[in-house]
Amino acid sequence: MKRIVNFRDFNVFTIEKEVWDVEYHNHNFYELIVIESGKGKHRLNDVTFPYKKGDVFLLQPSDHHEFIISRKTRFIYIKFSDHYISTYLLPGKSKNMKETIQLLLTGRSVKYESAVADSEDQKHFIRLAYHMQYEFSTKKVHSEDMVTGLFSAMITLLCRNLIHDPAATTWKNTELSKIDRILAYISIYALDETKMRIESMAEEFLLSPNYISIYVKSKTGFSIQQHVIQYKMKTAEKLLSHSDYTINEIAEKLNFTDASHFNKLFTKYKNTSPSKYKAEQKG
């Protein structure tokens, strides 16, 4: 497995390719990739799914990926390090925003589609990427400050799309408050059993272990466990549709006790078994 190493804290550039010529790899940095034009497939951590113009992918250093191009694609790449985030991005942010950015960048769960789902936000994101690339390459007076401000705006857009994921349309309110941060936390750490312990969540959000479950249910209409299961079911759909993992492997990846438990829950939520769903999607 190839590992690409970069010693720069921050870099922005555009490449256009008809054929992807970089082998399956990971990095020692974060990578924000904007699809300016074109289409094809993105293989991310052994799951393959389509990409198109406007899609945005945020990759952690440990993520392995490659593209399979079906139409000439123009990529805007933004590469950045932990040091850049801590030195230039986080200072001056509110406590809530710092927490959300840290969740966005350090969460273990992978989003197997565009990190920016809203179509208007996608257009805005591409415009920000254009402007940032211009300032980064021209290096005029105050360009460094412009780049930092534009990158901050892009990360804020990512945070907004994380909080207001389309899957969350059943929420009973949309106030940007503690509940939004709790739901973002669940979506990122749903597969991390340690992080998802009630005691850990309560400590993270300064609530009592007894009250946090009541709080989430009262604000959203769903229990914490129901939110976790919904996340797992949506992830299962993607793995069944776009990967070659077996039913047993998917059950293990999603931390189910066994394949039987996974089969039972998936059938309850989708009214079809995982094997039938996989066959239909692959057929």
pLDDT tens series, the chain, 283 aa: 688 887 789 999 999 999 999 999 989 999 999 999 999 999 998 889 999 999 999 999 988 999 999 999 999 999 999 999 999 889 888 887 887 788 788 765 566 789 998 889 999 999 999 999 999 999 899 999 999 999 999 999 998 887 665 444 443 333 346 888 888 888 888 888 898 999 999 998 889 999 999 999 999 899 999 999 988 998 898 889 888 889 999 999 899 989 999 999 999 988 999 999 999 887 6
Q: Which CATH class is domain 2-163?
A: mainly beta
CA pair distance 182, 172, nearest whole angstrom: 14
Q: Which helix (H) or strand (E) holds 130?
A: helix 119-138
φ/ψ of residue 213, rounded to 5: -65, -45
How far does the chain reach from its first CA to its final CA, in angstroms?
31
Q: Residue 267 carries which side chain, given as an amino acid letter? A: T
CB 33, CB 227: distance < 8 Å: no
CB 77, CB 33: distance < 8 Å: yes
Can you give the pLDDT at residue 176?
45
Helix residue ranges per DSSP H, 30-118: 82-84, 95-106
β-partners of residue 67 are 42
Helices 178-189 and 95-106, axial angle in degrees (round to 10): 10
Can you give the pLDDT at residue 47?
87
Name the pTM for this structure.
Answer: 0.77
Q: What is the DSSP string of 244-277?
A: ---HHHHHHHTT-SSHHHHHHHHHHHHSS-HHHH
Architecture category of domain 166-283 in CATH: Orthogonal Bundle (1.10)
Q: Tokens for 54?
A: 């406007």
For the chain, the domains span 2-163, 166-283
Q: Which residue has the tokens 């589609």?
A: 113
